[in-house]
Each structure stands twice: as C-alpha cells, then as structure tokens.
Amino acid sequence: QKEVEQDPGPLSVPEGAIVSLNCTYSNSAFQYFMWYRQYSRKGPELLMYTYSSGNKEDGRFTAQVDKSSKYISLFIRDSQPSDSATYLCAPSNSGYALNFGKGTSLLVTP
Amino acid sequence: KAGVTQTPRYLIKTRGQQVTLSCSPISGHRSVSWYQQTPGQGLQFLFEYFSETQRNKGNFPGRFSGRQFSNSRSEMNVSTLELGDSALYLCASKPRGSTDTQYFGPGTRLTVL
C-alpha cells in the first residue's frame, strides 16, 4: 500500500462550484499536512499547511484533516478558471514534504 | 527576490549515458531537495542537501547522486540512464529548518531514448 493515495481525476467542474479534493494516508506518524498546487509546466507551490487535526481556512480554500480516519481534504469555494491545476497532498512526519499523492487534475470551466 | 532556477529546462539523452542537472536556490536558502515526477509514480523525493551535506535520502538506486556547493547551488547526477528515468526533475529550496516552506523550481524535463 502506498503511503499516500489520491484520486488522479481529472475532475471537471463549472465556475463557481465547490470542489472537494481528497487524500488518504497510511502512516499514523504524519503530523504535518500540506497541499500543493501545480500549474502546467511549473513546479508545485505550497497552498495550505496544517499541523495535526482540524480545519484551516485561507480565503476560498479550506484544508481539513481527520487523523482518526487518515483522511485529508481540500475544499475550494467559488471555484475559478484560474484554479485549474493539479493539486497534490503531502502528509509528513517532519515539516517538509517527502511523500506526495499523485495529484488530482482539476479543470474549472467558465 | 529571484526564485529557484534549474538548468537546463529540457534534455534528451540516450540509454546508458549520464546526465547532470543544476539547481540554484533562492538567495539565502541553504537547503536544497530534489524530486522526480512521473505520471505513474507521481512526485518522489530523491535527496536533500543542507550546508553541503546530504541530510535525507529517498528510496532511489545509487545511480542517482547529488552534491551541494558552498554557495548552496546543487547538482544531481544520474549515471547509466534507463528509459524509466524519463521524468520531470524538480528542485526545491528552503532557508534551513525542517518546518520552513520550500519553494520549487520549474523543473528539468529529461527524456531518455
């Protein structure tokens, strides 16, 4: 079993929709949970960073961690075409990302 | 402040050859990490260098190696290239600590024929 599982999509939604992106992980030692966004032909950029369980909100983005079920989510409200990208989850037991999901490709259509 | 730069951006090699990729971190950043990204395996950690010393290593064969110079610039080398080494190789830098945010470069696209 891979340490991090993520549905690759692609996921296509209309502009304004609420998007839910999810990952599961197997290592209960993971305490840091990161989401990266990667545009085509670019390197990943850190979008959200949470520690331990709970929710964290940043503008239209909300990251949610459920350590009991080893399940992490990223919600995007009022999605925009500029949100079209690949989203990678990266749980970690240190502060930096060693284990990434394969990424979910998101397309937001106008 | 300039971002992480990687050279070259694209590279084509044949099986059995070796290749060296270069990464210049953000000014002041002392940690450089390398990753391999493929459609099949996703983004996988290769190794991290900090102050010219390898601090962490992923699960890759010894054909993959790296080094860091005193100015924090880093190179990674892949010897005896295989078709499966075709990938996007990403470099990321951060100031120093394990909890610092790391910043990725645009990557080097390596194609092995």
pLDDT tens string, chain A, 110 residues long: the values are 678 999 888 999 999 999 999 999 999 989 889 999 999 989 999 999 888 888 999 999 999 999 999 999 999 999 999 999 999 999 988 767 778 889 999 999 99
Is there a contact between B109 and B102 (Cβ–Cβ < 8 Å)? no
Confidence band, pLDDT 50/70/90 cuts, at residue B11: very high
d(C-alpha B3, C-alpha A108), whole Å:
28
The SS3 assignment for B102 reads coil
Nearest to B89 by CA among B52, B24, B45, B40: B45
- Interface mutation vs chain A, best among B7, B26, B32, B43, most A CBs within 10 Å: B43
Alpha helices in chain B (DSSP H): none
Q: Which residues of A fall within a CB distance of 8 Å from B89?
A: none
Chain B from 47 to 106: CB within 8 A of any A CB: 48, 56, 58, 90, 92, 94, 97-106
Residues in a beta bridge with B110: B11, B87
d(C-alpha A89, C-alpha A35), whole Å:
5
pLDDT value at residue A97: 74
Kindly compute the dihedral angle of the four CA atoms of residues B20, B28, A43, B55, in this order, to the nearest 10 degrees. Answer: 60
Task: Name every residue whose Cβ is closer than 8 Å to that of residue A42 and which is 6 or more positions away in sequence.
Answer: B106
Q: Classify the phi-psi angles of B96: left when phi > 0, otherwise alpha if psi is within -120 to 50, otherwise beta.
A: alpha
Strands B53-57 and B31-38: unpaired
Confidence band, pLDDT 50/70/90 cuts, at residue B97: low
Q: Which residues of B fall within a CB distance of 8 Å from A100?
A: 42-44
d(C-alpha A110, C-alpha A16), whole Å:
9
Q: Percentage of chain B with pLDDT > 90?
A: 84
